[in-house]
Amino acid sequence: SAALTFELVAKCSTTRARASILTLPHGPVNLPMFMPVATQASLKGITPEQLESTGCRLCLNNTYHLGLKPGQEVLDAVGGAHKLQGWNHNILTDSGGFQMVSLLKLANVTEEGVRFLSPHDGSPMLLTPEHSMSLQNSIGSDIMMQLDDVLVTTSPDKVRMREAMERSVRWLDRCIAAHKNPDRQNLFCIIQGGLDLEMRRECTREMVARDTPGIAIGGLSGGEAKDDFCKVVATCTELLPELKPRYVMGIGYPEDLVVSTALGADMFDCVWPTRTARFGNAITKVGVLNMKREMYAADFGPIEDGCGCPCCRPVDQEGAMGITRAFVHHNAAKETVAAHLLTIHNVWYQLNLMREARDAIIADKFPAFVKEFFAGLYPDRQDYPSWATDALRGVGIDLREP
Amino acid sequence: MSDEIHDQAVMTFEVLKAAVRDGVAARLGKLALAGRKTVIDTPNFFAGTSRGVVPHITPDNVSKHLHAGGAYMALEDFIERPQQYYTRKPPIFDTPTPLPPGKPLHSFTAMPPSITTVLAARRIPAVPAPMGNSNNSISIFTSVGFQVLTTKEYHNAVEALKPDIAIPLADLTNHSTAPNTKRALRMADRTDQWVKEFFDELDTQDVLNPSKISTFAPILPIDYSIQWEYIERLAEDLFPHLAGLAVYDLDVLPDIADKYANLLTLPRLSLSAPATPHHILRQIGLGIDLFTIPFINTVSDSGLALTFTFPSPSSQLEPADAQPNGTGTSLKPLGMDLSCPSNQISLAPLLENCTCYACTNHHKAYIHHLLNAREMLGWTLLQIHNHAVISQFFASIRETLSLGQEAFEAAVEKFTLTYEPDFPAGTGEKPRARGYHYKSGAGEGKRNKPGWSKLGGDETPAAEKENGNPADVAPVTVAADVNA
Ligand SMILES: [Zn+2]
Ligand SMILES: [Zn+2]
């Protein structure tokens, strides 16, 4: 059963890119899309109203963090995460497993679940598929993720990798059985299998057979080579049913979004755009610019020329602030407001990048869009990253041709 | 702030209702600024800023959600000379001015055109400088340390930045203890000289009026008997150039009222950092029209939501207010500690009937969660709410004043009897100290304990490696720890 509808609007005639409308319990969203991460039910100092002004209609919350603070009891009493944070649009939650394994040194995975020591009092705790579902049911997210057994893709231990992949399938079955609200919350499966393409194929077939409303490709935000990353995405999307949303977890660099879209993925999330904002970095068409650099001290241009975000649009326009690079430089690392402004700009950039990609897909001009995007980032074609040119060539775009 | 009027060339202040008694007392007024479409109803307040921003509030939220008459800015926040770029001109002086036209201070800080800007040399409260002032300069405290600001540099800055209201330099010690007589005499002499120079160098007809800059002359925090010559000059020679008074201490006002009635027609801005709403009411009673209120920012940083209203609610306490206030008295608290676990599941607004953005879109449980999780939005929402409470406080004061002096005095008395004299202490951790301006006595430790650390004591900050570490507020700042 599904609490969503998926409507395929257009397909790129060259690549595997798709444009679609995903209608979730809290309204429709256009795919492909980027989802900003509001880890603890808040997007780094910006108000839900400001997040809305970037065009965002689906953001992430982290189950592990909300399980700790405010905790399940409070979530139940308040009536879930939408009510907690005053966000009337969609929320996606992860299972909590990844964060446990990555944040907590002493996490330990068994068939039962993930064992770890409570950060509150050091007492042993266990996150099972059932407990993850229960937490996500309390959160009330529009999209829930299954608990999976995540290994870093670069792990050399083939046996352990297979165990993790097979366990993830078994845990999906337990998640489906434990999910209390399939009529109003969507549970997505997560394909595992590391960098072993055969194992990925096997996992994809197993997961697809379980017919969840959406499908994620997991385990990829680690330190694997970009070539390997692209091969995994391409291998999975090839086998995925056309009429379901495909979510590549934990990626967020603009190049990754554009290439993954070309490979047939629809949804992406990453903390990078908002985290990097707090270090004074602005994401732009020509790359990441650090506003703390002296060269911006007296630069009275917008954060990015031509950007349509509330910060960058000229001050005489409705709802615009006319923020200059000089002002961001003046307050970067000194006042939280500078970070809030860059957060708004960066989130807007990421969402807009996907809006433009989507428009291009609908107009069947996606290859031209991809070329223009890379030309903006790299003035010299020699500098195009080979992983991107290779991956794009695999789906019919030759970046060397104008 | 209220009704729109046409632009006008110079600032005007109209007293609508004043005490008939002798001396200075509460009054109701309307301040219409040069070149502005809006008027500020007084009594009212200007929001405090740090480096040109109302702390935690982005400019879009300032225009949408902050109902302040204006913003007070300190030149020391804009003219630091970092060691590597010691000779560079502070960038603010090159600001182009799209909107409002010809107002670089507004444009640099992205302050919405509706906000009135006040420029003075120093923040309130100012960090005292070890080296003091000289005959033609003061010491200021910038993000990179103490620096000298000459009178000439200050006058040039006023001319270049074109604030709506400028406060000429005053020779202040910025210490809590009163200066000795000798120092006080020098303060009066220098300030007298500096204010005279201000108008010599910035000609009213040629510079100030065309730039739509109104001048509020400083009144020093020393005895009238010591600064009477200076005040006489203000009342006589300089009076035509003055738009208002910037009062660092109120004790002199009755003497001024006695001797120079013409100065009474000017709006008075208090720069004395009133500690509580009780102090604000007292100062209004002594004739203050405009305020800067540093406690709003500190209260928000402490995780407190202001909860007082004026006039105070009718005598019997509502059940929600009847909870023990921890001091064993029956007085109502001025604020509420949102870090307190009792707010964990409360879906109530911070203050019943508050119409601010925070109260109409969020609830106590969320703000409690944000403070508990050290999410920056917690302080943003508290700032929006606390400014709204102060704004409503002033609106109610004006309404009461329109009923007459007696109604006002009765309401003040009731307020005093209803509320605690001080704010409760906030138990939550404050935002990461945003640097240098928290500098205080030597040997003071870090303001907050280090954040959440990993199990197993891994030294690498998890924020650098993985998704959202709970303690992840890190990059916004550095300097505070340097002072620790
Ligand atoms: Zn922008
Ligand atoms: Zn409020």
Rounded Cα distance between A391 and A397, Å, is 9
CATH no. for residue B148?
A: 3.20.20.105
In terms of domains, do B231 and B334 share one? no
In terms of domains, do B281 and B396 share one? no
Residues A20-39 have pLDDT tens digits of: 999 999 999 999 999 999 99
On whether residue B321 sits in a domain, the answer given is yes
> Domain range for residue B52?
12-293
On whether residue B439 sits in a domain, the answer given is no
- Check whether A395 has a pLDDT greater than 90: yes
Average pLDDT score over residue span B146-172: 97
**Radius of gyration for the alpha carbons in chain B, expressed in angstroms and rounded:** 23
Q: Identify all chain A residues contacting B57, using CB atoms and an 8 Å cutoff.
A: 337
Average pLDDT score over residue span B66-87: 92
Chain A stretch 49-88, residues whose beta carbon is closer than 8 A to a beta carbon of chain B: 49-50, 53, 62, 65, 68-70, 74, 77-78, 83-86
Average pLDDT score over residue span A361-380: 97
Residue type, A24: L
B65 annotated among ligand-binding-site residues? no
In terms of domains, do B389 and B266 share one? no
CA distance A253 to chain B (A): 14
On whether residue B444 sits in a domain, the answer given is no
pTM of the model as a whole: 0.92
Bond into B218 cis (ω within 30): no
Element (H, E) at B28: strand B27-32
Specify the pLDDT at position B458. 35
H-state helical runs in B202-340: 224-235, 253-259, 277-285, 295-301
Task: Centre a 10 Å sphere on the Cβ of residue B270 and count the other Cβ atoms it contains.
Answer: 28
B340 annotated among ligand-binding-site residues? no
**A347 C-alpha to center of ligand 1: Å?**
9
- The residue ranking higher by pLDDT, A334 or A151, is A334
Specify the pLDDT at position B435. 46
In terms of domains, do B330 and B285 share one? no
In terms of domains, do B211 and B332 share one? no
On whether residue B343 sits in a domain, the answer given is yes
On whether residue B476 sits in a domain, the answer given is no
pLDDT band at A392 (very low <50, low <70, confident <90, very high): very high
Least CB–CB distance from A330: residue in B51, B377, B431? B51
In terms of domains, do B246 and B320 share one? no
DSSP per-residue letters across B140-178: EEETTEEEEEEHHHHHHHHHHH--SEE---------SSP
Residue located via tokens 């008459």: B69
Contact by Cβ (8 Å): B107, B154: no
In terms of domains, do B156 and B206 share one? yes
Contacts 24+ apart (CB under 8 A), A3-8: A3/A142, A3/A181, A3/A182, A3/A183, A3/A184, A3/A185, A3/A186, A3/A213, A4/A142, A4/A143, A4/A186, A4/A213, A4/A214, A4/A245, A6/A213, A6/A214, A6/A243, A6/A244, A6/A245, A8/A242, A8/A243
**Radius of gyration for the alpha carbons in chain A, expressed in angstroms and rounded:** 21
- Per DSSP, what are the bridge partners of residue B291? B45, B270
On whether residue B306 sits in a domain, the answer given is yes
CA distance B174 to chain A (A): 24
Global ipTM: 0.97
In terms of domains, do B308 and B396 share one? yes
Rounded Cα distance between A304 and A143, Å, is 33
In terms of domains, do B404 and B276 share one? no
In terms of domains, do B97 and B214 share one? yes
Rounded Cα distance between B143 and A210, Å, is 59
Specify the pLDDT at position B295. 97
On whether residue B158 sits in a domain, the answer given is yes
Average pLDDT, chain B: 85
pLDDT band at B327 (very low <50, low <70, confident <90, very high): low
Residues B372-403 have pLDDT tens digits of: 999 999 999 999 999 999 999 999 999 999 99
Which token pair is A380? 């010299």
How many structural domains compose chain B? Answer: 2
- Name the closest ligand to CA B306: 2
- The residue ranking higher by pLDDT, B290 or B23, is B290
In terms of domains, do B324 and B406 share one? yes
Choose among B157, B154, B152, B57: nearest CA to B110.
Answer: B57
Specify the pLDDT at position A99. 72
